């Protein structure tokens, strides 16, 4: 029987035929695809014709076409609907794929062809895009160790192979801890919980096959529980379990994996001639150096800490007024902050949430894309990897642009967080290939027959991930390696964070924030109060984020710590971390940094991009129209369509005329006056 992963996909727009694929198909398909990739690489390296851009660089761009197709389907499943078989496959694939990548980077004949083209680049009559692809390809080989030989090459290969295994193990351990823990709630344990939290807890109980409501470690559920539960003892129990992910001892403990990861990254950097991993990693980012990152973070840390400490004093008085002695604890902050928000802004989530229906927020995100970029979205039937998954065809002026896939609900088989990925990216090699873009979120799934309701933070997350999706969908380049989100890590969050601003546009909320039961639009008074509270508790949010970014930077900007937990504690003590706030991501569950290389030394990227997104939205506000067509066209032509074909700073300057300072960020977070 033909392996469906290796056959032509006779599906709408070439989507993976998930209804025909079994877990047993992946391993043989990856083996076949790897063999094909190796043959393609050998053909390029052994070509006796003189090197040209087409027979070397373009050929490299398409060498892994089958492998990319198979892995695109696999990793969509592995991240969003994992099971024991898929986790075992991940562990098996990680060293295989690392070994293949090392073979390519260590292929001396192949690198010689790339090096020849690089040395002759001024005489090759290349387009600007080709010049960029050549530079990135050459730089990628060098940074992957192509110039190493002998023991150094072997050591680098072994380090990268082990790192791939460690990243997979880290993520699977975290998923196991999140999947296994839940807190049953009896009738006496529901005090203070609004109906929507109880309904979500009941739905979670059904998934966990419990006969009572439960609290799980899904952010969308546990944060609501921490906001509303009157039971301080249960808040503490749930919060500590949330913070203990990856640090519970036994087989799923991530602390030793984190230590080994940091040591191997240091080894990798030094083999390549860098003092430490941060210097290596940041060389290709907009920030450029650890000092520049630290400077940005510390500019924000001081006002954020001052604001948080002022808030803590108020919340502590509320705690004491409730008869509890002692300091404000981390499991108290969200509870008393929610009460204070009600007092200051006459706003509570129980009143707000019925107006933020998932389906209406999806419509809102689509509507903004229609008004800004002329995109249209039509529901699409076809095979998906899970019953919760939804699909749309994206068109513009009747022409197919992309397939957009939304997977919105939390489940035990899905890793935590929210992300955007592409099962297929845009390219013009081999035809006009349009992308298949996936947004994955972890919103609380409602009871059967009930609408899914979002918090305002959830709605922002939906817009954020859709901003990433637009970056993929509007990509208009020739080469896959620079397509869509293939940009500097501290630039990739600009489109996503910028898109969040349209959720705050009053006319958008006036149209799409409608009540789940009555269909009535959000009252103007409530809309005003919600937007007025947009920067409420921003000291807390900024402190927990910046602390995580500073710890990440410290891990990599110097000798690798033998004990990361000790290093984490040292950094937090040095910056004066407030007692009642903890890092957004403590080391044992810091998946951004330890589940792969993506955000290692790079968690600061969200804030670096925020400096730009706050300034970028001002371009619309300055002309008095959040949907100004000329500004939207300029945004698409510079930032959204260009991928990595131009240096990130040049793209931003092309859109805005200059690079911004940190002032716009502080103003946007309501921290400009804090000292």
Residue 395, SS3 per DSSP: strand
Give the residue among 462, 471, 541, 533 at the shortest CA–CA distance from 503: 462
103: annotated active-site residue: no
- Rg of the chain in Å (alpha carbons): 25
> What is the bridge-based pairing of β-strands 390-396 and 182-184?
unpaired
Q: At what angle do helices 456-473 and 358-373 cross, to 10 degrees?
A: 40
Give the residue among 386, 443, 407 at the shortest CA–CA distance from 204: 443
Residue 525: Cβ within 10 Å count: 9
Name the phi and psi angles at 214, rounded to 5: -135, 155
Give, as one character, the DSSP assignment of residue 519: -
| Residue 18 CA from chain centroid, whole number | 24
Give, as one character, the DSSP assignment of residue 445: P
Residue 438, SS3 per DSSP: strand
Residue 463: Cβ within 10 Å count: 22
- CB 258 within 8 Å of CB 594: yes
User: Which residue in the list 465, 493, 610, 636 is annotated as catalytic?
Assistant: 465
Q: In which residue are the tokens 């999706």 written?
A: 469
> What is the bridge-based pairing of β-strands 419-424 and 436-443?
antiparallel
Q: With b meaning 16 or more CB within 10 Å and e meaning fewer, what string describes 271-291?
A: bbebebbbbbbbeebbbeebe
Give the residue among 238, 257, 232 at the shortest CA–CA distance from 169: 257
Give the residue among 172, 174, 144 at the shortest CA–CA distance from 159: 144
CA dihedral 479, 485, 490, 495 (to 10 degrees): 130
- Helix, strand, coil shares, percent, the chain, to 5: 60, 5, 30
Sign of the torsion formed by the C-alpha atoms of 178, 352, 545 and 316: negative
Name the phi and psi angles at 391, rounded to 5: -135, 150
> What is the bridge-based pairing of β-strands 436-443 and 399-409?
parallel
Residues with active-site annotation: 465
């Amino acid at each position: 029987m033909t392996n469906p992963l290796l056959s032509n996909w006779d599906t709408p727009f070439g989507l993976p035929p998930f209804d025909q694929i079994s877990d047993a198909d992946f391993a043989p398909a990856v083996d076949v695809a790897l063999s094909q990739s190796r043959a393609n690489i050998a053909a390029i390296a052994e070509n006796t014709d003189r090197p040209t851009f087409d027979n070397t660089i373009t050929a490299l761009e398409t060498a892994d076409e089958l492998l990319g197709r198979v892995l695109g389907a696999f990793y969509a499943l592995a991240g969003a609907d994992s099971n024991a078989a898929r986790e075992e496959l991940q562990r098996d694939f990680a060293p295989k794929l690392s070994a293949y990548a090392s073979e390519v980077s260590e292929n001396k004949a192949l690198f010689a062809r790339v090096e020849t083209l690089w040395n002759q680049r001024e005489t090759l009559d290349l387009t600007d895009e080709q010049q960029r692809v050549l530079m990135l390809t050459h730089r990628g080989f060098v940074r992957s160790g192509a110039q190493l030989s002998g023991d150094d090459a072997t050591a680098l290969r072994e380090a990268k192979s082990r790192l791939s295994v460690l990243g997979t193990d880290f993520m699977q351990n975290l998923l196991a801890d999140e999947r296994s823990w839940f807190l049953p709630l009896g009738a006496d344990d529901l005090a203070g919980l609004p109906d929507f939290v109880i309904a979500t807890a009941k739905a979670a109980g059904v998934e966990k096959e419990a006969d009572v409501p439960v609290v799980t470690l899904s952010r969308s559920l546990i944060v609501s529980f921490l906001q509303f539960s009157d039971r301080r003892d249960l808040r503490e129990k749930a919060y500590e379990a949330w913070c203990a992910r990856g640090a519970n001892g036994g087989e799923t403990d991530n602390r030793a994996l984190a230590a080994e990861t940091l040591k191997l990254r240091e080894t990798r950097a030094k083999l390549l001639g860098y003092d430490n991993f941060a210097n290596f990693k940041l060389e290709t980012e907009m920030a450029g150096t650890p000092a520049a990152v630290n400077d940005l973070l510390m500019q924000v840390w001081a006002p954020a800490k001052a604001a948080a400490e002022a808030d803590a004093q108020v919340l502590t008085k509320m705690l004491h007024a409730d008869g509890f002695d002692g300091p404000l604890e981390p499991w108290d902050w969200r509870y008393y902050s929610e009460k204070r928000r009600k007092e200051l802004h006459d706003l509570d989530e129980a009143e707000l949430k019925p107006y933020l229906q998932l389906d209406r927020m999806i419509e809102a995100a689509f509507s903004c894309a229609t008004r800004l970029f002329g995109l249209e979205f039509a529901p699409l039937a076809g095979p998906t990897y899970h019953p919760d998954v939804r699909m749309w065809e994206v068109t513009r002026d009747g022409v197919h642009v992309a397939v957009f896939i939304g997977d919105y609900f939390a489940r035990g088989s899905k890793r935590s967080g929210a992300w955007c990925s592409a099962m297929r990216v845009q390219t013009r090699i081999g035809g006009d290939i349009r992308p298949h873009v996936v947004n994955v979120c972890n919103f609380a799934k409602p009871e059967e027959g009930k609408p899914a309701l979002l918090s305002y933070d959830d709605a922002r997350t939906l817009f954020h991930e859709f901003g990433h999706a637009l970056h993929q969908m509007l990509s208009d380049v020739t080469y896959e390696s620079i397509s869509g989100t293939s940009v500097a890590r501290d630039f990739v969050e600009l489109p996503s964070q910028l898109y969040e601003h349209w959720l705050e546009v009053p006319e958008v909320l006036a149209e799409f924030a409608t009540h789940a039961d009555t269909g009535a639009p959000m009252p103007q008074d409530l809309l005003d109060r919600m937007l007025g509270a947009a920067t409420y508790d921003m000291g807390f949010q900024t402190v927990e984020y910046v602390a995580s970014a500073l710890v990440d930077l410290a891990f990599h900007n110097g000798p690798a710590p033998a004990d990361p937990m000790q290093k984490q504690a040292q950094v937090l003590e040095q910056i004066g971390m407030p007692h009642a706030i903890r890092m957004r991501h403590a080391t044992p569950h810091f998946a951004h940094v330890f589940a792969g290389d993506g955000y290692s030394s790079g968690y600061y990227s969200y804030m670096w991009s925020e400096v730009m997104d706050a300034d970028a939205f001002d371009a619309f506000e300055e002309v008095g129209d959040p949907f100004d067509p000329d500004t939207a066209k300029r945004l698409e032509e510079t930032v959204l369509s260009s991928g990595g074909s131009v240096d990130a700073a040049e793209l931003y300057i092309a859109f805005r005329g200059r690079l911004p300072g940190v002032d716009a960020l502080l103003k946007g977070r309501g921290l400009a006056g804090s000292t």
